[in-house]
Structure 1
């Protein structure tokens, strides 16, 4: 398939250990990769060179495509962005490991399907082979387009974090609220539309690379059965369930995610 008009994807270097194996990490809708994966990356400094990417209109990526985007086109954009970074810095990683949360995990499934020669193994957290339904994503895209990002703040915080997390880590919820309010409405709506058309349930069996699916037992948008479906549907899959964790496992349980990631990729 030839994909035209790839969405602009920006890379964010989360660790500078460039002699180590490359790990690429992807964010959730409405978040920036630095805030979501930064604490995990800090725990991986001795193991991996961690490179993140931001969705259109999110975080460091202020570019928004004039054309509709899909999970597949975002995946192609991620590979192109990673390759640009490697070339500019004189690095060579024909294959790399990948980890993504929510939308980042959906993109990861397309990387595993469409770029299988590049992905050595994957960790997919709080995601699914399909997420939500077409009508609700269309509705949210129209809502944010008509009323602005601010209308999403309360609902996003409720979906993102397990009960009690905001009280334990108000610094995190404050930061994620600020980053959400900075998201470009067009970019957010485009990703909603991409999610509306996303469903690779029937293709899971094509995925050969080892996959670890990590679920939070308090995750409402992508509950445990969706992660179990991935783990059981791919050829070499495993499931881990984190207690007391909601939809953003990398920031809610960074030590657990880092330990699972190291064990999976070392194996």
Structure 2
């Protein structure tokens, strides 16, 4: 199996898949796993090239990342599931909603644009930097965007744990996923999405501005949009209880 995963909760319960941010692992979702596992079979996984998953040579495309998730579902014998993803996990969710809607009951997508911020060249250059100098070269900048200063000061252990995930991500996997983001443009397929979809943004997100997420919500018929205040990119860590409540209400 290409993807590493952790499955928690009753084996006969509805399945929820959790996709993490660039440079992180399934551990990013621990608070939500603990809260949701009483009602759902929660499958938190590492993206291709991340954590304990396989790291084939890049570049990757969103179809590679999404295809690996569909293979995971087949491996687990899961015909239909709900899906929640943050950052690149949310971007892959948009791809799944457009390309395999029959496999999903609902989507909750956090800080997920339909087209990458910055130029494709920026993402190519970031990939080159990581292949040359390793993920350590981008870790501090990522952490700086992902947490508000007050939160980082109050939660140094949590921030250090996330940084540890970034620097331990395989260089090739991180770089190849950067290339997938840089090449992504999912805007044309948004109007075709007919699976119930919740878009969640953070009001102080420097990585994916709230307006970029709102634009996705505006383009998906019948979707819902929620703005989390006093948060940077990693909403599920900054406001775990609020986020878990939103997920529990929307997923099925």
2:48–2:65 contact (8 Å) kept in structure 1: no
2:24–2:51 contact (8 Å) kept in structure 1: yes
Alignment of 1:37-186 (within 5 A): 37-61=29-53, 63-86=54-77, 93-132=78-117, 133-186=119-172
Q: Alignment partner of 1:117: what SS?
A: helix
For 1:81 and 1:10, the matched residues in 2 are separated by 9
Alignment of 1:187-266 (within 5 A): 187-265=173-251
Match of 1:90 in 2: none
Q: Alignment partner of 2:106: what SS?
A: strand
Bigger shift: residues 97-106 or 143-152: 143-152
CA RMSD of aligned residues (A): 1.4
1:12–1:52 contact (8 Å) kept in structure 2: yes
For 1:191 and 1:8, the matched residues in 2 are separated by 15
Q: CA shift at 1:67, angstroms?
A: 4.8
1:209–1:236 contact (8 Å) kept in structure 2: no
Residues 8 and 45 of structure 1: CA distance in aligned 2, closer, same or farther (over 3 Å): closer
Q: CA shift at 1:73, angstroms?
A: 1.6
Structure 1 spans left out of the alignment, 5+ residues:
1-6, 87-92
For 1:18 and 1:204, the matched residues in 2 are separated by 33
Q: Alignment partner of 1:208: what SS?
A: coil
Q: CA shift at 1:85, angstroms?
A: 2.5
Deviation digits for residues 219-256 of structure 1 (CA, Å, limit 9, x no counterpart): 11111111111211112201101111111111221111
Q: Alignment partner of 1:164: what SS?
A: helix
Q: Taking structure 2 as the reference length, what is the TM-score of the superposition?
A: 0.95
Q: CA shift at 1:56, angstroms?
A: 2.7
Q: How many residues align?
A: 251
For 2:242 and 2:135, the matched residues in 1 are separated by 31
Bigger shift: residues 249-258 or 208-217: 249-258
